[in-house]
Copies of this chain bind each other. A is one copy, B any other.
């Protein structure tokens, strides 16, 4: 199988401010593997830089692989390194695999695409009145509010007054323990249903303290979950985990991570990075296995290079064509 790379810069429709910093664009990499396509998300705060992703991918030689059904062997044979780059290869390989079997991937995985939970839409950090206006105008039933800096309570109040949407919040590791201990009850009081990554990645003792708060939203770990071992370490400390193809290392690894999380009594929120319809459509194929979904990447960018999953309000619809079902725009 022949592997080639295509740098793909995604422009954000608005400056994407989160606790880790502001992005105007993201420097992703598309992977072409025979007729299959994958995507590696460059995420600076996870240490995933385009140069390193490209370097990883240029070292991979799949010339000796002639059977796209050999998923296990091909993926087990990849060198250690960038999870985003491994995800790109895994996604492209699943695309070829399902194309060869002549079916949309979800069918080969035995899943019902009508069981995908509705997605949230992300509102990046901004002035309280600006976030409130966005929340009001979004027309979406579930909103994910980015928090994790100062003025979080003012933002929350403005948004909660502006919309009746279900609210989720994401602190992106931006709070200290004391801040989180004060803010989680405030979130609960305003009906926020879940908070992602309130504390620094790996602060398990802090999560234990938060879990004991009498009034709090459900707590989901995201930046703290970089691999399956992290899911195991978080069991009992959080209500759920955020699984992303770019963190797990692809579809096959994410399927395992979802199985592990559910066995450990954790809910799964399937999410994406700033990614195009390539990676987000791939994620949508396994979304029926998850309780919650945040797959809004294509809604946040201009110039999506591919068409794939479509949005009908918060409902995701997968293409019925073989493979991932994506096509070049």
Contact = CB atoms under 8 A, between A and B. Distances in A.
Interface of A: 69-73, 97, 101-103, 107-108, 110-112, 115, 228-229, 231-232, 252, 255-256, 259-260, 262-264, 288-289
B263 A72 contact: no
Is chain A's binding surface mostly helix, strand, loop or mixed? Answer: helix
B69 A103 contact: yes
B231 A70 contact: no
Contact of A259 (B70, B73, B229, B256): B256
A228 to B, nearest CB: 5
Given A260-B263, A260-B264, 19 more contacts: A69-B103, A69-B107, A69-B108, A70-B112, A71-B111, A72-B112, A72-B288, A73-B112, A73-B115, A97-B110, A101-B103, A101-B108, A108-B108, A110-B252, A228-B263, A231-B263, A255-B259, A256-B263, A259-B260
Contacts of A229: 263
A235 to B, nearest CB: 8
Contacts of A263: 228-229, 231-232, 256, 260
A29 B56 CA distance: 52
Those 6 A-B pairs whose CB atoms lie nearest each other, nearest first = A71-B110, A69-B107, A260-B263, A256-B259, A259-B259, A228-B263
B264 A232 contact: yes
